[in-house]
């Protein structure tokens, strides 16, 4: 592992111990093989000056919710050292009481909650303390002879601590085991299940010790396994999803037992594919996680996907319920039992989460876990902590307290939505609103700019000409391959052909209108149905037009195509109800912030009715202009629980039109 310390960067921090603490913490945080997504802890003992400039000796320790890779000074909670040491002297202390006592010992009421390891950090007699969950060190711990592997590697340089639950008991255990040790002769501590601690009175030494000790573990593993350099062939040896319908079905079943829509992110890297292709992949992956800290994100074990089995997820549910009943004290409430990742034999892995962002966090943990398992197998096998120890962390009172905090779930959290014509106007407004409400969005448009508009974690922009069936099929497949399924299709793409009376109507204008406003919608719906029927509260939402119930002269091509689209929606309603798919239509009128309403079109239509452009824009009963966002909000409602018992509805959104009312 590379030592990234830079004396010039450190010098820029001056003599401020907290600034130096931030600098070296980030060095640790940027190494994913040291800490993953909020894991690890760092601290510094220093003086905190209050509003009266009085000095107080405190432990600045990483606070809850902060990540070492991006931590700021505000992320370190100043806790009274005296209070922490007094807590350490107690014979026993519930972890919830410890957290409360630590909160009371804060000198800054706005600081985050101190780490549950604050007492342990306070007891280590050095100014700077670093703690990582280094993959290499934890891998050696998770082998059948893990203690001897660690002791033979480091000898007397480290203090070895057998596994103890995190919190007060862990601090107590370290006090007991270190009572007769000479801290000056130690370079660090290895805590089984918790990783590696290093410490010193300056940040460079503590950080460098961390890098050196981890490097030793990496070298031991490489010597046993042999070093393999990644090649182009490795990248080509990625997994491929053999059946997108299987992925969509697994996602649906996982979502059902989770009680909420989940994203299913396939993990098809060469390393995941190679692991999943091993004959013993299922047996080794289901022994337990890399560290107990991961259980709240990954559950104890993964799901094993079996293409031929009908009850894959149901069997996982039964196993989880048995696991809970085996270890509960009878007072605990079972958490949702849904798996958070899966091994797909011969393919790779899949991560499950309410959002793609969280799924990617799980994916990172899975990649590191599979690499660790592979390495541990060369040391006699993968031997993580037993189920009881993992259960105690999963149902730890502090974890329960976090889960019980009220959280507002976005309306469409975890749902997968396809929006056509998403680069502008109504489609863009729908995609943006649904994204803000928690949905994962696949935005389709013939305009390649759609790929630049949707680059966020929870969205993809796909250039797609809906008049070409192969492009439609590829876009649908790409959506399922990226998010795991489809729950809602918003058919919005369309165009307004030039106004023309029938005797002057050009064939190209007629054909283009039918192709884009009607046939392309049929293609998108047709390609999506196999996945929608495996979706969560699936629905199709058609963006129709006032011209369906109230056509006007000079718009035959547009009105006829939209009328056909309306009839398509009615037939789809009849055909798809038995599959649980709702089909509803919104009929906007005069939505002028869309691509089809060019200045020329506006001027032409206004003149046709003998109105000015401004009069034409508000020529409805309410005298209010209708916007794309107004339509998007109706679409959001149709996709949500308000319309969960409604199908076949046709809702005008036009400010009121005399010819319809």
Q: Summarize the confidence of residues 414-428 as an average pLDDT.
A: 97
pLDDT score at 420: 98
Mean pLDDT of the chain: 94
* pLDDT (tens digit per residue) in 243-278: 999 999 999 999 999 999 999 999 999 999 999 999
**CA 9 → CA 4, 20, 24, 75, 629, distances in Å?**
10, 9, 10, 20, 48
Cβ-based neighbours of 17, under 8 Å, separated by 6 or more: 44, 46, 60, 127, 128, 203
Q: Are 244 and 480 in contact (CB under 8 A)?
A: yes
* pLDDT (tens digit per residue) in 289-304: 999 999 999 999 999 9
- Nearest-CA neighbor of 512 among 528, 525, 493, 527? 493
Q: Is the model's pLDDT at 521 over the cut of 80? A: yes
Q: Is the model's pLDDT at 609 over the cut of 70? A: yes
* pLDDT (tens digit per residue) in 1-17: 999 999 999 999 999 99
pLDDT band at residue 228 using 50, 70 and 90 as cut-offs: low
Q: Summarize the confidence of residues 139-157 as an average pLDDT.
A: 96
Q: Are 205 and 7 in contact (CB under 8 A)?
A: no
Cα 567 to chain centroid, rounded: 39
Residue length of the chain: 661
Q: Is the model's pLDDT at 403 over the cut of 90? A: no
Cβ-based neighbours of 141, under 8 Å, separated by 6 or more: 149, 150, 190, 192, 193
- 203-225 helix and 146-154 helix, angle to the nearest 10 degrees: 120
How would you classify the pairing of strands 582-588 and 440-445?
unpaired
* pLDDT (tens digit per residue) in 470-497: 999 999 999 999 999 999 999 999 988 8
Measured on CA atoms in the order 657, 659, 660, 661, is the torsion positive or negative? Answer: positive
Cβ-based neighbours of 588, under 8 Å, separated by 6 or more: 426, 543, 544, 545, 546, 626, 630, 631, 653, 654
pLDDT score at 229: 56
Beta-strand ranges (E) seen in 381-453 are: 416-420, 440-445
The sheet with strand 195-200 has its strands ordered as 76-80, 55-62, 41-49, 128-132, 195-200, 188-191, 158-161
Q: Is the model's pLDDT at 234 over the cut of 60? A: no
pLDDT band at residue 227 using 50, 70 and 90 as cut-offs: low
pLDDT score at 231: 54
Q: Is the model's pLDDT at 557 over the cut of 60? A: yes
Q: CA 278, CA 501: separation in Å to the nearest integer?
A: 68
pLDDT band at residue 225 using 50, 70 and 90 as cut-offs: confident
Report how far apart the first and last C-alpha atoms of the chain are (Å, whole number).
Answer: 73
pLDDT band at residue 384 using 50, 70 and 90 as cut-offs: very high
- Nearest-CA neighbor of 486 among 521, 534, 450? 534
Neighbour tally for 579: CB within 10 Å: 13
**CA 305 → CA 254, 281, 349, 629, 655, distances in Å?**
11, 12, 9, 41, 51
Q: Is 477 exposed, middle or buried (0-12, 13-18, 19+ CB in 10 A)?
A: middle
* pLDDT (tens digit per residue) in 439-468: 999 999 999 999 999 998 899 999 999 999
619/477: higher pLDDT: 477
**CA 633 → CA 437, 537, 582, 618, distances in Å?**
11, 18, 18, 20
Which range in 36-40, 223-227, 537-541 is most confidently predicted, on average pLDDT?
Answer: 537-541
pLDDT score at 236: 66
Cα 333 to chain centroid, rounded: 25
């Amino acid at each position: 592992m590379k030592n990234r310390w830079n004396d010039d960067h450190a010098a820029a921090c001056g003599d401020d111990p907290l600034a130096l603490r931030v600098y070296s913490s980030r060095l640790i945080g940027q190494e994913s093989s040291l800490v993953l997504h909020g894991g690890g802890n760092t601290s510094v003992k220093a003086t905190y000056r209050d509003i009266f400039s009085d000095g107080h000796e405190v432990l600045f320790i990483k606070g809850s919710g902060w990540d070492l890779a991006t931590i700021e000074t505000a992320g370190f909670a100043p806790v009274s050292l005296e209070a922490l040491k007094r807590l350490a002297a107690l014979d026993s202390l519930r972890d919830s009481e410890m957290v409360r006592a630590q909160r009371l010992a804060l000198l800054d009421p706005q600081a985050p909650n101190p780490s549950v390891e604050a007492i342990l950090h306070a007891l280590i007699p050095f100014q700077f303390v670093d703690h990582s969950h280094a993959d290499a060190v934890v891998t050696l711990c998770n082998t059948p002879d893990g203690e001897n592997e660690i002791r033979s590697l480091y000898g007397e340089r480290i203090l070895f601590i057998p596994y103890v639950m995190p919190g007060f008991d862990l601090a107590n255990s370290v006090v007991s085991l270190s009572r007769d040790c000479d801290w000056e002769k130690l370079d660090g501590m290895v805590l089984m299940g918790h990783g590696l601690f290093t410490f010193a009175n300056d940040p460079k030494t503590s950080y460098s010790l961390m890098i050196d000790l981890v490097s030793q573990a990496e070298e031991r593993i490489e010597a046993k396994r042999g070093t393999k350099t990644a090649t182009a062939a490795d990248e080509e040896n990625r997994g491929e999803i053999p059946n997108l319908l299987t992925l969509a079905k697994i996602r649906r079943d996982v979502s059902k037992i989770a009680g909420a829509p989940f994203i299913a992110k396939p993990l098809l890297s060469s390393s995941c594919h190679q692991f999943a292709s091993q004959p013993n992949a299922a047996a080794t992956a289901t022994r337990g996680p890399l560290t107990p800290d991961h259980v709240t994100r990954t559950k104890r074990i993964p799901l094993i996907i079996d293409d031929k089995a009908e009850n894959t997820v149901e069997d996982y549910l039964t196993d989880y319920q048995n696991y809970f009943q085996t270890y509960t004290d009878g007072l605990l409430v079972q958490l949702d039992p849904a798996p958070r990742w899966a091994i797909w034999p011969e393919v790779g892995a899949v991560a499950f989460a309410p959002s793609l962002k969280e799924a990617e966090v799980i994916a990172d943990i899975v990649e590191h876990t599979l690499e660790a398992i592979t390495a541990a197998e060369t040391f006699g096998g993968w031997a993580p902590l037993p189920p009881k120890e993992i259960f105690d962390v999963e149902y730890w009172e502090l974890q329960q307290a976090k889960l019980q905090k009220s959280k507002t779930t976005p309306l469409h959290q975890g749902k997968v939505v396809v929006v056509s014509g998403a680069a502008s106007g109504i489609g863009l407004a729908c995609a943006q609103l649904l994204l803000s409400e928690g949905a994962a969005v696949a935005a389709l448009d013939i305009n390649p700019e759609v790929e630049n508009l949707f680059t966020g974690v929870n969205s993809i922009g796909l250039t797609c000409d809906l008049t070409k069936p192969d492009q439609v099929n590829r876009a649908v497949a790409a959506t399922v391959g990226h998010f795991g399924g489809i729950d809602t299709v918003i058919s919005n793409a369309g165009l307004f052909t030039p106004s023309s009376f029938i005797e002057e109507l050009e064939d190209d204008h007629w054909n283009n209108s039918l192709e884009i406003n009607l046939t392309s919608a049929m293609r998108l719906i047709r390609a999506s149905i196999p996945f929608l029927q495996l979706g969560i509260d699936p629905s199709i939402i058609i963006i129709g037009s006032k011209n369906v119930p109230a056509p006007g002269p000079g718009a035959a091509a547009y009105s006829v195509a939209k009328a056909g689209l309306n009839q398509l929606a009615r037939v789809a309603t009849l055909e798809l109800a038995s599959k649980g798919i709702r089909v509803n239509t919104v009929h906007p009128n005069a939505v002028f912030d869309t691509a089809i309403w060019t200045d020329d079109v506006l001027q032409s239509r206004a003149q046709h009715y003998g109105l000015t452009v401004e009069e034409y824009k508000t020529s409805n009963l309410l005298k209010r202009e209708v916007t794309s966002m107004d339509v998007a909000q109706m679409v959001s409602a149709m996709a949500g629980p308000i319309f969960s018992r409604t199908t076949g509805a046709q809702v005008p959104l036009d400010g009121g039109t005399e010819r319809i009312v």
